[in-house]
């Protein structure tokens, strides 16, 4: 019995090794070398050998450790499909949420935390905010949006342009950027909300690309590929973060340090993210929040109960877009520089991955996924080239490991999606 098992494991590993060899042969085994005379071919067939051996051994170890692991994704799926939707957060999640908020507040004062960590966490919080906003559209209203980054871009560019051209302060531009992004969301949403499922996905993806192309090509307004520079930094109720008289440090009698601005930005985004989260949590139990979820579960039932799908979808789109607009204007003021490069499809993919990995609707899941997908890769910046490779690989592995997302208790769509929607 055991011998039969190990023989099967060996055979399976050998097959995996052969496949790895076939994969590696054309692209790892040969190297395209460019030179003045054109391309020539380099050989490094030893790499193919390493790939085969590596995959063979890896597969063998996996097989021997347990067939259990391989069978796992299927069984978790089964359980989740059975799981029912429970609107109230469980006790432990509630406590964990407050604990996270507490940690976030004291983070800059912890002994092992330096400026870089705070800066990284600022970035993570931007993605928490974006993830929360997208969660309204994807998680609550069930509309797959692959072009969310467009609203983020609209927010960032509206802030930058308003601040640069009209000299408005951050606090006036912030709501304006949100309003612009929301208006854009309505504009975009209006024609496409009749579409369902994947058609909507591709159209939103297309819109995301259109926005980026326009940003690149509308030189006179957006500065083209070079972007906009010298975007004003936010001030602390009119006090600027600069050295000398009248600056923030001077008025409060502190020694000037550039770190003050970083800490201020951290608390600013923390406040924005918390407001977003609180808003979304509240709105979920309002009629409109219920309507989003009802619409996601069954559009026909909604319609026959007298709900207007178009308004409901539009409101989800507009609200999600507004939060992206806020996040975008914060991003612009933090960077001081924006260019279309920051708003490519990969950003949409990361934000969507945060929502899905977080478990579609779980707020704590979104925070965890943002830390995992945005925070951790920042630590490995030294690995530069391999970073994105590992990022993509991690995305696949986490999905295989937990198809329901990290916190999967709230996966109401699991069952109905198979029966009803496309």
Per CB under 8 A, contacts with other proteins among 153-192 are: 191-192
The count of chain residues that interact with other proteins, using the rule CB under 8 A, is 77
By CB under 8 A, residue 422 contacts other proteins: yes
Over the window 350 to 389, marking each residue x when it contacts other proteins by CB under 8 A and - when it does not, the resulting string is: --xx--xx--x------------------------xx-xx
Of the candidate spans 5-13, 125-133, 238-246, 345-353, the one that interacts with other proteins by CB under 8 A turns out to be: 345-353
Of the candidate spans 89-97, 106-114, 323-331, 406-414, the one that interacts with other proteins by CB under 8 A turns out to be: 406-414
- Please select the residue that binds other proteins; options are 1, 34, 91, 92, rule is CB under 8 A: 34
Shortest separation between residue 205's beta carbon and other proteins, angstroms? 6
Per CB under 8 A, contacts with other proteins among 1-20 are: 19
Q: Which residue's CB is nearer to other proteins, number 25 or number 123?
A: 25
Of the candidate spans 60-68, 124-132, 177-185, 202-210, the one that interacts with other proteins by CB under 8 A turns out to be: 202-210
**Among residues 410, 306, 328, which one has the least CA distance to residue 366?**
410
Shortest separation between residue 214's beta carbon and other proteins, angstroms? 7
By CB under 8 A, residue 395 contacts other proteins: yes
Q: Which residue's CB is nearer to other proteins, number 3 or number 74?
A: 74
By CB under 8 A, residue 114 contacts other proteins: no
Over the window 70 to 99, marking each residue x when it contacts other proteins by CB under 8 A and - when it does not, the resulting string is: ---xx--x--xx------------------
3-state secondary structure the chain: CHHHHHHHHHHHHHHHHHHHHHHHHHHCCEEEEEECCEEEEEECHHHHHHHHHHHHHHHHHHHHHCHHHHHHHHHHHHHHHHCCCCCCCCHHHHHHHHHHHHHHHHHHHCCCCCHHHHHHHHHHHHHHHHHHHHHHHHHHCCCCCCCCHHHHHHHHHHHHHHHHHHCCCHHHHHHHHHHHHHHHHHHHHHHHCCCCHHHHHHHHHHHHHHHHHHHHHCHHHHCHHHCEECCCCCCECCEECCCCCCEHHHHCCCCCCCHHHHHHHHHHHHHHHHHHHHHHHHHHCCHHHHHHHHHHHCHHHHHHCCCCHHHHHHHHHHHHHHHHHHHHHHHHHHHCEECHHHHCHHHHHHHHHHHHHHCCCCHHHHHHHHHHHHHHHHHCHHHCHHHHHHHHHHHHHHHHHCCCCCCCCCCCHHHHHHHCCC
- Please select the residue that binds other proteins; options are 1, 2, 32, 36, rule is CB under 8 A: 32
Q: Which residue's CB is nearer to other proteins, number 40 or number 46?
A: 40
Q: Which residue's CB is nearer to other proteins, number 229 or number 400?
A: 400
Of the candidate spans 29-37, 96-104, 253-261, 264-272, the one that interacts with other proteins by CB under 8 A turns out to be: 29-37
By CB under 8 A, residue 69 contacts other proteins: no
- Please select the residue that binds other proteins; options are 117, 144, 183, 307, rule is CB under 8 A: 144
Distance CA 61, CA 58 (A): 5
Per CB under 8 A, contacts with other proteins among 210-229 are: 210, 213-214, 216-221
By CB under 8 A, residue 207 contacts other proteins: yes
């Amino acid at each position: 019995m055991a011998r039969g098992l190990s023989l099967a494991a060996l055979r399976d590993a050998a097959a995996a090794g052969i496949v790895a060899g076939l994969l590696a042969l054309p692209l790892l085994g040969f190297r395209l070398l460019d030179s003045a005379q054109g391309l020539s071919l380099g050989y490094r067939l030893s790499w193919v050998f390493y790939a085969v051996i590596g995959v063979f051994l890896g597969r063998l170890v996996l097989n021997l450790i347990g067939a259990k692991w391989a069978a796992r994704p299927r069984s978790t799926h089964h359980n989740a499909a059975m799981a029912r939707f429970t609107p109230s957060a469980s006790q432990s999640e509630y406590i964990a949420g407050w604990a996270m908020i507490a940690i976030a507040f004291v983070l800059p004062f912890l002994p092992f935390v330096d400026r870089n960590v705070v800066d990284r966490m600022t970035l993570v919080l931007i993605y928490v905010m974006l993830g929360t906003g997208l969660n309204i559209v994807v998680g609550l209203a069930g509309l797959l949006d692959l072009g969310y980054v467009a609203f983020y871009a609209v927010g960032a560019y509206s802030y930058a342009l308003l601040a640069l051209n009209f000299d408005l302060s951050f606090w006036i531009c912030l709501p304006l950027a949100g309003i612009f992004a929301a208006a854009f969301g309505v504009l975009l949403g209006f024609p496409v909300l009749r579409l369902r499922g994947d058609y909507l996905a591709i159209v939103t993806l297309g819109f995301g690309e259109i926005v980026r192309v326009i940003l690149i090509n509308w030189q006179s307004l957006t500065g083209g590929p070079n972007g906009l520079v010298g975007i004003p930094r936010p001030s602390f109720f009119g006090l600027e973060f600069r050295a000398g008289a009248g600056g923030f440090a001077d008025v409060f009698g502190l020694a000037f340090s550039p770190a003050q601005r970083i800490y201020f930005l951290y608390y600013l985004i923390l406040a924005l993210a918390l407001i977003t989260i609180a808003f979304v949590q509240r709105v979920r139990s309002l009629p409109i929040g219920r309507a989003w979820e009802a619409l996601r579960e069954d559009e026909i039932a909604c319609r026959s109960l007298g709900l207007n799908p178009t308004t409901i979808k539009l409101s989800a789109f507009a609200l999600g877009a507004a939060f992206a607009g806020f996040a975008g204007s914060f991003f612009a003021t933090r960077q001081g520089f924006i260019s279309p490069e920051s708003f490519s499809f990969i950003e949409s993919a990361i934000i969507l991955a945060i929502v899905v990995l977080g478990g579609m609707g779980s707020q704590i899941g979104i925070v965890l996924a943002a830390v995992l997908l945005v925070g951790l890769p920042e630590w490995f910046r030294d690995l530069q080239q391999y970073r994105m490779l590992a990022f993509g690989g991690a995305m696949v592995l986490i999905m295989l490991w937990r198809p329901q997302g990290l916190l999967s208790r709230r996966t109401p769509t699991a069952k109905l999606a198979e029966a009803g929607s496309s």
